[in-house]
Amino acid sequence: MAPISPQYANQLLAELTEGCPVPAAPASLSRYTFQVSNHVLIGDTAVRGYKYKGRWRLEERDIRAAGNRLASLPFDVDDLVDARLTPAEPTRTWRWQIRSWFDNVSYWDQRTNGCRCEGQQPCSRARPNCHGLGCAATLEQVKERYGRWPIACTGPLPLLTWSGTTWMVPRAYAALLDRADQIAAQCVEQAARCSRCNATGDIWKWRTSSSGGYTTLCPACAASVARPYKDHLRGRQYTSLLKNAQPEAFLCRLCPGPRQAVHWDHCHTHGFVRGPVCASCNTYEGGGHRFIHRPGSVRHLLLCEGCRRDRTVPPRHQPDIVLQMSVLDPHGPCAQQANSRWGSVQQDGSIRFRMRCWRCPQTPQWEQVMPATQVRQLVREFVDKALEASAGTPGQESA
């Protein structure tokens, strides 16, 4: 059978488990699903994900086997056990996940509607109410917010029952999720091993995306299969690169330790190549938020000849520069320096900051706009300082 898309896999699972006590729930089977493991859990079955022609795929026979196993689970809806959804769960198990849903809904209900409990206000949300949740939250609120969130590709919320003193769940389902937790931990442990020397390390530092999926390489092995980049494509347009200009031959120029690159990072405004980066750094730079605070990030951005010439950086990084180079207006009612949640660049080049002040419940949020002319001036000053510092640093080229 040919590989199938995640969308078709979800559809197939729904058909195979239709009418079953534990129906499959659609999972977001994207590349992030396989970031910490090569597998996705469907019940207590680990299904391998593959990259086929640049897109994630799964084997249809694996999906059918997992769906049929889930559909044939011996199940008695009246045989219930204590779900043990205690706040003290030490690791990210299925119990921890459900407990976090409950806690989040209780928190937001109290924050939105206030506390209606007797005694100290607001309450700690630790004492369960008649619905088994904190403060005045209800299970319907949990289902509304998290009803579509799966655990091991199953929907747990319809199977939970509040007895009046504890949360209950069918015994067979609890055992299924316990097995899924064990298998998931084994998959993560295997994914943390270097594919060349079998050493175990930090997934978030060693594991990176590749053309065939995610791979795990320790720093020593990464340095043995890729080499440092020497800026040989400096000044080249990304569109002019040949097909054999493989970034995988180089180490990521942004990671502090050796890590194999995956993409040619380039300026989307001017088109110039900046250098090879891993998938994580590529995503971080593309998101913009707080990227300029990383060591070497500003020099990396200024490898674009157009940005150096115009004394600027891509717009997504400009809100952070403005916050670093200026002080926004204090909050009038309390004259305190407010916190900026986020700054978005407008079409005219101005930046709209969403502000927050916890000291003033009457006006906790508002907006402040930095004019485009001031933004350009602050960004230029920032770039000039960066180029001046680069020129005075041994081993760094001048502007």
Q: What is the mean pLDDT of the chain?
A: 88
3-state secondary structure 288-317: CCCHHHCCCHHHHHCCCHHHHHHCCCCHHH
For the chain, the domains span 3-71, 80-191, 203-310, 317-380
The single residue listed with the structure tokens 């150096």 is 308
Cα separation of the two ends of the chain: 57
Judge if the upstream peptide bond of residue 330 is cis by omega within 30 degrees of 0. no
To which residue do tokens 């930090």 refer? 202
DSSP code, position 247? G
**Mean pLDDT along residues 301-313:** 95
Preceding peptide of 122 cis, ω within 30°: yes
Q: Give Cα 221 to chain centroid, integer Å.
A: 26
Rounded to whole angstroms, the Cα distance separating 135 from 25 reads 29
* pLDDT score of 335: 67
> What is the distance between the alpha carbons of residues 95 and 115, in angstroms, rounded to a whole number?
26
Torsion-angle region of 222 (φ positive above 0: left; ψ -120 to 50: alpha; else: beta):
alpha
CA–CA separation, 349 and 380 (whole Å): 14
C-alpha 188/C-alpha 183 separation (Å) is: 9
pLDDT tens sequence across 156-202: 999 999 999 999 999 999 999 999 999 999 999 999 999 999 999 98
* Whether the Cβ atoms of residue 340 and residue 352 lie closer than 8 Å to each other: no
Are 43 and 153 spatial neighbours (Cβ–Cβ below 8 Å)? Answer: yes
Rounded Cα distance between 19 and 15, Å, is 9
At residue 398 the predicted structure's pLDDT band, cuts being 50, 70 and 90, is very low
Burial 22-33 (b: 16+ CB within 10 A, else e): bbbbbbebeeeb
The position carrying tokens 């997504």 is 316
Distances (CA, A) of 383 to 40, 265, 300, 311, 330: 44, 19, 12, 6, 26
Tokens of 395: 């081993």
Band (pLDDT 50/70/90 cuts) for residue 333 is low
Question: How do beta strands 263-266 and 273-277 pair?
Answer: antiparallel
Q: What confidence tens digit (pLDDT) does each residue in 55-107 have?
A: 889 999 999 999 999 999 998 989 999 999 887 667 789 999 999 999 999 99
Enumerate residues 6+ apart whose C-beta is below 8 A from 342: 289, 319, 353, 354
Residue with tokens 């004492």: 127
Kindly tell me if the per-residue pLDDT of 397 is higher than 80: no
